[in-house]
Amino acid sequence: MISRDEFVSRFGGVFEHSPFIAERAYDDGFVGDKLTVDRVHTELVAIFRAASKEERLGVLRAHPDLAGRLALAGELTEDSKKEQAGAGLDRLSPEEHARFTELNSAYMQKFGFPFIIAVKGLNKNDILAAFEKRIGNSRDEEFVTAAAQVEKIALLRLTSMLPET
């Protein structure tokens, strides 16, 4: 059986900069012999959903802006760097980068957390379209949408780490 330290080290970053989720999953006695994508995702999502609204907001706020200053400074987590590069966000024209910067600022000002979307399988145009649509949401609608995207990102990250069954 995997130790708490090993579990948190392995899965603590599945929810961006939020190891408390893996810690609580382990402390709940979840860990068994067979760690699969479905089992680990189900447990981590249950912990995320059971967290206080402030803690969930903290998880949302732990995500970087898309094509934002952390990306430019090379300070993204390895997962975020790969995800954003896969969507072409590391190869934006100056005009596209300016549009992302403008939307990131407006979104953060309106909602108090960064725009979050699972970028795998999307390109910069898909992401911009979703950005422009979602900025019209209410704060409550967007909190729910962003939280669902965080859960999807966690699933995608786990899929690259574990067997499915």
Return d(Cα 100, Cα 135) in angstroms, integer.
12
Residue 63: active-site member: yes
User: Taking the CA atoms of the chain, what radius of gyration do you get in angstroms?
Assistant: 16
Integer CA distances (angstroms), 151 to 14, 33, 50, 132, 158, in order: 9, 23, 13, 21, 11
Residue labelled with tokens 């795998």: 120
Query: Which residues are known catalytic residues?
Result: 63
